[in-house]
């Protein structure tokens, strides 16, 4: 959390009868707070005001406000504070979640929203922790739950854009953890081979004649070049055909040899290997070949999984880019859209066909970080309308000195009587707790900031949001 807010200290505090305790403290540089450190109450701490008012407190610079002159946090050089209360399900105060800095901080609204999102997650975990167990066990379980939460978010880059990523955290974690799991599994296969089979392989290889060594190496080379992504049905069919080929060539143990060759990934082109396949120790040689084929497959899996994780992380970094200068910069519109689609990959693969029609356009002078928020909101709404199943069509074109971006979903559509209301602040058709009603209002403000326009056309089975942005030559 401290990394996301770019501050020295991110804390979760737990209140006791006369003291308040640091339950969780960020492992960041210049953080003066230690885990389990306690401070007396009624001493002017920021968190006392948060708990007393049961509301957010934002102090940009305590040195500029006489109210905080005796604050113990200020004595630790923590002059800036943003915190919100944490509440037990019985409406009792648990403590606070907060960030502190040693310099003046005027947090943008997205940072406030992000902190409230963290609060909601922790409050939800508190509900799960309510039981007959003692409070010490509650605190332990909470710490474990918070560790899990931090693990899913540690790849997220520091930026106020994280507020817009709140609903994507679980999907992004899956897109990163899945390839990491593949890497761990593959490394395990390689380590097992090195520990158990490498020495035996060296002895075995030296025991082969030179021609047989060449046959063995050719076998491995051919196996490495084969596509092993075959269905079970296709594999059975190819293995049956391979058995017949071996039988036609009078190879003994044709079925067993075909089984071993199939495991290696070889289903045809066996002519070059006939001398090896006719050797008395053929099955032993193929078994060693199979072990090496597993190592080859594991290295390919590591490469593919690394690429997949890297693509997701790159998209996060690109999405979270923030230009604090407040000046427009040249950016590729389709690159921003693709970044958002990458972050939504976990939802898209549940049953959404994405159709892209991108015209070749020059970079547009814009606020790319804010436009990313536009694409995020429109894509999220489209997926919600389709319940993650349907067709998402995205078109980017140039018309009358305008860039047009059309995002179309195949959902149920928006009724005519509410189409004019959807851009109003706090208007939402989602159930309570699932939408703030601010998404399209923010989108419209961002588009107006670009001197552009947004319109919607909807009928059952097709809703299209069209964003037009002026091209500055």
Domain ranges, residue 459: 323-470
Residue 168 belongs to a domain: no
Check residue 153 and give its pLDDT: 36
- Do both 380 and 275 map to the same domain? no
Q: Which of 154, 173, 197 is the last residue of a domain?
A: 154
Residue 310 belongs to a domain: no
- Do both 406 and 357 map to the same domain? yes
- Do both 339 and 224 map to the same domain? no
Residue 171 belongs to a domain: no
Check residue 229 and give its pLDDT: 63
- Whole-number Å distance between alpha carbons of 198 and 204: 10
- Do both 226 and 137 map to the same domain? no
Strands (E), 45-158: 57-59, 80-87, 93-101
Check residue 308 and give its pLDDT: 58
- Do both 415 and 329 map to the same domain? yes
Torsion of CA 383, 384, 387, 391, to 10 degrees: -30
Q: Which residues are CB-contacts of 404 (< 8 A; sequence separation ≥ 6)?
A: 395, 396, 397, 398, 466, 467, 468
Strand partners for 392: 354, 409
- Do both 76 and 186 map to the same domain? no
Domain count, the chain: 3
- Do both 355 and 388 map to the same domain? yes
Domain of 90, CATH number, reads: 3.30.450.40
- Do both 266 and 388 map to the same domain? no
Please report, for residues 319, 385, 399, the alpha-carbon distance to residue 331 in angstroms, rounded to integers and kept in the order given: 12, 29, 18
Question: Which runs of consecutive H residues, i.e. helices, occur in 30-71?
Answer: 46-53
With CA atoms as reference, report the closest residue to 172 among 308, 371, 369, 372: 308
Q: What is the mean pLDDT of residues 2-23?
A: 93
**Residue 181 reports pLDDT greater than 90:** no
- The radius of gyration of the chain's CA atoms, rounded to the nearest angstrom, is 30
Which segment, 121-125, 230-234, 434-438, is predicted with the most confidence on average?
Answer: 121-125
Residue 163 belongs to a domain: no
- Do both 327 and 448 map to the same domain? yes
Residue of 357 and 152 predicted with greater confidence = 357
- Do both 49 and 130 map to the same domain? yes
Residue of 338 and 262 predicted with greater confidence = 338
Q: Could you tell me the pTM of the whole model?
A: 0.41
Q: Which of 300, 332, 365 is the last residue of a domain?
A: 300
With CA atoms as reference, report the closest residue to 343 among 174, 464, 118: 174
Domain of 367, CATH number, reads: 3.30.565.10
- Do both 15 and 141 map to the same domain? yes
Residue 391 belongs to a domain: yes
Residue 49 belongs to a domain: yes
Residue 72 belongs to a domain: yes
Residues 276, 282 contacting (CB under 8 angstroms): yes
- Do both 147 and 185 map to the same domain? no
Mean pLDDT of the chain: 78
Residue 31 belongs to a domain: yes
pLDDT digits (tens, 9 = 90+) for 38-94: 999 999 999 999 999 999 999 999 999 888 988 999 999 999 999 999 998 888 999
Q: Which of 139, 154, 169 is the last residue of a domain?
A: 154
Axis-axis angle for helices 198-207, 169-196 (nearest 10): 50
Check residue 161 and give its pLDDT: 45
């Amino acid at each position: 959390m401290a990394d996301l807010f770019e501050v020295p200290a991110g804390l979760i505090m737990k209140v006791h009868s006369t003291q308040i305790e640091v339950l969780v403290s960020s492992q960041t540089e210049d953080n003066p707070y230690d885990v389990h450190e306690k401070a007396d109450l009624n001493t002017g701490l920021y968190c006392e005001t948060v708990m007393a008012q049961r509301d957010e407190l934002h102090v940009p610079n305590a040195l500029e406000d006489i109210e905080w002159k005796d604050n113990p946090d200020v004595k630790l050089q923590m002059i800036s504070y943003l915190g919100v209360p944490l509440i037990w399900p019985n409406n009792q105060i648990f403590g606070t979640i907060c960030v502190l800095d040693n310099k003046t901080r005027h947090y943008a609204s997205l940072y406030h929203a992000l902190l409230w999102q963290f609060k909601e997650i922790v409050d939800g975990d508190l509900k799960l922790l309510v039981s007959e167990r003692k409070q010490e066990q509650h605190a332990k379980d909470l710490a474990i739950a918070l560790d899990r939460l931090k693990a899913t978010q540690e790849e997220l880059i520091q930026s106020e854009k994280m507020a817009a990523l709140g609903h994507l955290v679980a999907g992004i974690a899956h897109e990163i953890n899945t390839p990491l799991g593949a890497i761990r599994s593959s490394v395990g296969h390689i380590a097992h081979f090195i520990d158990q089979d490498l020495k035996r392989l060296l002895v075995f290889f030296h025991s082969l004649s030179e021609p047989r060594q060449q046959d063995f190496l050719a076998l491995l080379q051919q196996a490495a070049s084969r596509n092993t992504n075959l269905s079970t049905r296709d594999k059975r069919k190819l293995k049956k055909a391979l058995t017949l080929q071996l039988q036609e060539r009078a190879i003994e143990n044709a079925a067993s040899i075909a089984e071993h060759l199939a495991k290696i990934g070889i289903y045809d082109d066996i002519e070059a290997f006939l001398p090896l396949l006719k050797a008395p120790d053929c099955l032993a040689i193929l078994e060693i070949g199979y072990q090496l084929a597993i190592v080859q497959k594991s290295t390919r899996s590591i490469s593919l999984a690394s690429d997949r994780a890297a693509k997701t992380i790159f998209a996060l970094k690109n999405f979270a880019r923030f230009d604090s200068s407040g000046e427009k910069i040249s950016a590729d519109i389709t690159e921003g859209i693709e970044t958002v689609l990458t972050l939504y990959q976990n939802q898209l693969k549940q049953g959404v066909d994405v159709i892209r029609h991108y015209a070749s356009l020059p970079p547009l002078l814009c606020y790319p970080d804010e436009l990313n928020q536009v694409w995020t909101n429109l894509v999220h709404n489209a997926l919600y309308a389709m319940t993650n199943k349907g067709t998402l069509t995205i078109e980017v074109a140039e018309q009358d000195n305008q860039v047009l971006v059309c995002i179309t979903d195949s959902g149920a559509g928006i009724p005519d009587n509410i189409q004019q209301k959807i851009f109003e602040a706090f208007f939402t058709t989602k159930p309570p707790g699932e939408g703030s009603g601010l998404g399209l209002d923010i989108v419209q403000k961002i588009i107006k900031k670009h001197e552009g326009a947004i319109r919607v056309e909807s009928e059952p089975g097709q809703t299209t949001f069209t964003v037009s942005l002026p091209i500055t030559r």
